Amino acid sequence: MKVTLVQGDLTEQQADAIVNAANSSLLGGGGVDGAIHRRGGPEILEACRKLRAGHYGGGLPTGRAVATTAGLLPARWVIHTVGPVYSGSQDRSELLASCHHESLRVADSLGARTVAFPAISTGVYGWPLDDAARIAVAAVRAAETSVEEVRFVLFDAAAYDAFLTRLSA
């Protein structure tokens, strides 16, 4: 598997699937989640509502992932995952790694070969960039998957630099 980096907007990516840093309600939020729903149109929210009405009545647990249509976005699917909120007193890195493993597992089940990830948990959920980059890069490198390209799409230069440092380590 090839791991690539891009500084840019996740919603513009030509990839089989993009990963949403969602919250457990699946009903939208700010940050990258807001951008995905804004640009992808109402079909994504509609699909999320159906998940809430069915299998995910209690919401999507932290560290898990589930796919929907990508609506109007260039990707085919959005894989929603819920990152852990950063805690200085508790080690939640397994949950952050799990977001990456579970997203790739869902990608495999869809037959997706190219998957674009944002820097999960590094926005509102407060995870320090360097640490999140370390965990994300290690998690995708360790994954057993048929995905051929994992692309990290970093919104700003600081996030890009953090991932670049980890990738070249």
Among 5, 15, 17, 21, binds ligand ADP (CB under 6 A): 21
Give Cα separations from 63 to 42, 80, 101 (angstroms).
25, 10, 9
Residues facing residue 7 across a β-bridge: 154
The residue (of 129 and 143) whose beta carbon lies closer to ligand ADP is 129
> Smallest gap, in angstroms, from Cβ of residue 80 to ligand ADP?
11
Active site residues: 33
115 binds ligand ADP (CB under 6 A): no
- The encoded tokens of residue 126 equal 């407060």
Residue-wise over 114-128: b if at least 16 C-beta within 10 A, else e?
A: bbbbbbbbbbebebe
Instruction: Single out the residue of 15, 17, 19, 35 in contact with ligand ADP (rule: CB under 6 A).
Output: 35
Per CB under 6 A, 163 contacts ligand ADP: no
Residue 149, helix vs strand vs coil: strand
Residues near ligand ADP (CB under 6 A) are 9-11, 21, 31-33, 35, 83, 118-125, 153, 155, 159
